[in-house]
Amino acid sequence: MWEWLLAPLFTDRPHLLTDVQQWHARLMFVGWAVLAPLAIIVARFFKVLPHQDWPAQLDSQFWWRTHWIGQVLVFVCTVAAIALVFKLDLDALSNHSKFGYAVLLLLLVQVALGYFRGSKGGPSTVGNATGDHYDMNLRRRVFEMLHKSLGYFLLLLSIVTIGLGLWHVNAPRWMWFCIVVWWALLVVIFVVLQRRGYAIDTYQAIWGPDQKHPGNSRAPAGWGMRRMSRR
């Protein structure tokens, strides 16, 4: 059994990796198979924490800090990993490389989008409570649609890219097995949390359910998000 798991997936060609390629693979795995999906899960399902006395306690920063730090680390891992193999890719671009550069390009677009998310605003703002997010104006609604859609698409694209990388280097079977099991576990966690109603509207998580807040008159941003009244 162990010999079968340690053997390359395809027996007709070897599994060969240089030290540089190994570090490239490690960085990309940590970034896109671990940090990126966990950051998305936290941002989607932990805007209101289980022990939080919502709506008496609003605007938990746990999800925001976790998501932001996680995605910054994803960006760092991606840039570092691609820099390691850039000279190798100049000689010949594999399908894995092409998908990898597409991931980098869209990641840069996602980073740029962050600068167009607009101001927050809200009753706690000193002076004028108006803000792009609090008002849920067109700018903010477009940002949320693009940011969330591109985020999920990037995650799916990264899965394909990792699979192409494993195929390109003829990775051993145990790597395929571990990655498939890990992603299956993430899918199960996602489905369970979604069905239990943890995907709470960001706007309500920040400002509560009172209809005096202008964003509560609009539909929640994103698919499968739910509104709460009170606990």
- How far is residue 139's CA from residue 117's CA, in Å, rounded to a whole number? 7
The count of C-alpha atoms lying within 13 angstroms of the C-alpha of 196, restricted to the half-sphere facing its C-beta, is 11
Helix (H, G, I), strand (E, B) or coil at 146: helix
Q: Is the pLDDT of residue 124 over 80?
A: no
Class in CATH terms, 16-217:
mainly alpha
Q: Is the pLDDT of residue 135 over 60?
A: yes
- The sign one gets for the Cα dihedral 113, 114, 117, 119 is negative
pLDDT band at 231 (very low <50, low <70, confident <90, very high): low
Strand residue runs (E) in the chain: none
* Residue with tokens 């979604």, as numbered in its chain: 194
CA dist 134 to 17, 63, 167, 203, Å? Answer: 51, 18, 47, 8
Torsion of CA 84, 85, 91, 93, to 10 degrees: -150
3-state percent breakdown (helix, strand, coil) of the chain, nearest 5? 65, 0, 30
Q: Which residue has the higher pLDDT, 90 or 189?
A: 189
Intra-chain end-to-end CA distance of the chain, in Å: 52
- How far is residue 96's CA from residue 165's CA, in Å, rounded to a whole number? 5
pLDDT at 45: 97
Q: Can you tell me the mean pLDDT for 160-181?
A: 93
Q: Can you tell me the mean pLDDT for 103-114?
A: 94
Boundaries of every domain in the chain: 16-217
For 42-84, write each residue's pLDDT tens digit: 999 999 999 999 999 999 999 999 999 999 999 999 999 999 9
pLDDT at 230: 61
pLDDT at 87: 81
Please tell me whether the overall predicted TM-score, pTM, comes out greater than 0.75 for this model: yes
pLDDT band at 10 (very low <50, low <70, confident <90, very high): confident
Q: Is the pLDDT of residue 3 over 70?
A: yes
